Amino acid sequence: PEFNRIEILNLYDFGMEIPRIMLEEIIDLPRETLIKDLEKLMVDAVERYHFLSLNKWSNEKNNFPLHALYILKEIDAVESLPAIFSFLEYDEEFIEFWLGDHTSEYLWQVFYSLGFNQTNELKEFLLRPNVYSFVKTAVTHALSQIGLHHSEKKEEVSAIFFEVYSVMLHADIEDDIVDTEFISFAIGDAIDCKLTEL
């Protein structure tokens, strides 16, 4: 893609061992164009997925969407949450290719930071059909951590868990939102948050 700033191209050439100074230079770029460029990286990951997935995996060339997610979190780009949802709504194979273990290990931090004041949007994403179990689990883990560490948000978080459980309880299999693996992890997150009222 054509980017506003050439520095973004460095995200295609380095894996998770990208030099700190390079990341700092990117983070210091003008916010508005930086966000547009990072969102464009995620679109590129979608558009070129089939091409790149047919070629040999490169730990440098194939980490650029991860860089985009983590930098958006770092600059607190709350306005990018819809773009992040669009990237993460693809199937298991797509998510595993681009994010791998980061999905279950670190993705929740992105939702925690960017969704802290957008919990309704997190809930709506949980109720989208056909979203990969571990992506949804990252959302409930983030919600659990928000409720656990911010007592003023606990009631709000509890209401979200209650609604998600209720929708799934009354859903038909054709709705494509019933996901037993996700439900089991979501119950664990509610327990971690001590939502005993549920």
Q: For 76-109, write each residue's pLDDT tens digit.
A: 999 999 999 999 999 999 999 999 999 999 999 9
Is the C-alpha dihedral spanning 29, 78, 178, 185 positive or negative?
A: positive
Question: Which has the closest alpha carbon to 161: 186, 129, 142?
Answer: 186
Q: For 138-190, write each residue's pLDDT tens digit.
A: 999 999 999 999 999 999 999 999 999 999 999 998 888 999 999 999 999 99
- Mean pLDDT, the chain, as a whole number? 95
Are 14 and 51 contacting, i.e. CB atoms less than 8 angstroms apart? no
Question: Which has the closest alpha carbon to 159: 141, 147, 142?
Answer: 147
